[in-house]
Amino acid sequence: MTEDSVFSKVLHPFRYLSRALQKIKSLLKKEKPVLINLTPHDVVIRQNGEDIVIPRSEKVARVRETEIHTETINGVQVTDIYYDKTLNLPEPKDNTYYIVSIVVAYANCDRQDLVFPDGLNAYRDEKGQIEAVPGLRRVVEAPGATEKIARFFSLDKK
């Protein structure tokens, strides 16, 4: 055995340990996730009796709404709309989550960095106005949805 190969074998565990320590350091250095509020209101999240206030930012993310048809049903005007382009929505960024309206979240349901206030379970005052929400929600694909769509379009239906 040469001196170099012996030296290499002796150092191998130390190199492995060094890489492991670097990995642990990078995991420990991981920064706290950032929440940016892109709604027109401060978002108050009430958890364990304490309120966490996430102030609104300068920009508000919105989805452009387009009217395409209006009809009258039993004397009531009904307008068909569709949601088009999302405005003021930043590109995804590592470790950053954007608080948006439920409409913006659904219009961009492929984005896992978009969350919206849980208004369904909100804490309300005597007038019914929202004081705080218990948390945030995120839109995800329904379990099994992809398989159901694939079966629907399958050529060999049984």
Provide the domain count of the chain. Answer: 2
One domain for residues 105 and 120: yes
pLDDT, tens digit (0-9, with 9 covering 90-100), for 98-156: 999 999 999 998 999 999 999 999 999 999 999 999 999 999 877 776 677 677 776 66
Instruction: Report how far residue 154's alpha carbon sits from residue 148's, in angstroms, rounded to the nearest whole number.
Output: 10
Tell me the pTM.
Answer: 0.69
Helices (H), 1-131: 3-28, 102-107
Q: Which domain holds residue 1?
A: 1-30
Instruction: Report how far residue 152's alpha carbon sits from residue 158's, in angstroms, rounded to the nearest whole number.
Output: 11
One domain for residues 41 and 11: no
* 157 is a domain residue: no
* 158 is a domain residue: no
* 5 is a domain residue: yes
Give the H or E element holding residue 145.
Answer: helix 145-152
